[in-house]
Amino acid sequence: MENTQTATPAFDLKSVPFYLEKLTAETKPAWGIMTPQHMLEHLGNTLVMVNSKKALPCVTPEEHLPAYRQFLMSEKPFAQNIPNQFIGDGLAPLRFEDLETAKTKLLAAIESFQRFFQENPEATPMHPFFGHLNYEEWQQFQRKHFTHHFRQFGLIG
């Protein structure tokens, strides 16, 4: 899970529209098989997890959660090509008709994510790898996750 790349830069979900302006359907990833649209739909999935009617189970053994949580709260970035059992080896079918729609849906998912925690400040929704997370921990996960994929597509250096 750990990587030797530079630390996660300062990043905030409010800056996402700026980065999305640089993303086109022709943008190539530095690693992995995702297309730009797959990446945006994937990021959107991690935002809607917090208020999903169908909670994912935590697949990390209880005894490993403290170490996972310590990594999450650190500035160490995610490694490239991390296997994700929820995604599998191939690409998921695209849900939206095009990249512009995926951008719009991602921004709406960010708003929904923020609204969920405004309305439920004490909530600790389950993350499938990090366990129950509060708002600050979910924010850290999203910063780290968005930075990982925005680096993948050259949107962040």
Return per-residue pLDDT of the chain as tens, 157 residues: 444 444 444 568 899 999 999 999 999 999 999 999 999 999 999 999 999 888 789 999 999 999 999 999 999 999 998 776 666 678 889 999 999 999 999 999 999 999 999 999 999 999 999 999 999 999 999 999 999 999 999 999 8
Q: What is the pLDDT of residue 88?
A: 65
In the chain, the largest separation of any two C-alpha atoms, in whole Å, equals 43
pLDDT given at position 90: 80
| Residues contacting residue 35 through CB under 8 Å, at least 6 positions apart | 25, 29, 91
User: What pTM was estimated for this model as a whole?
Assistant: 0.89
DSSP 14-65: GGHHHHHHT--TTPPPSSSS--HHHHHHHHHHHHHGGG-SSPPPP-S-GGGH
126 bridge partner residues: 132
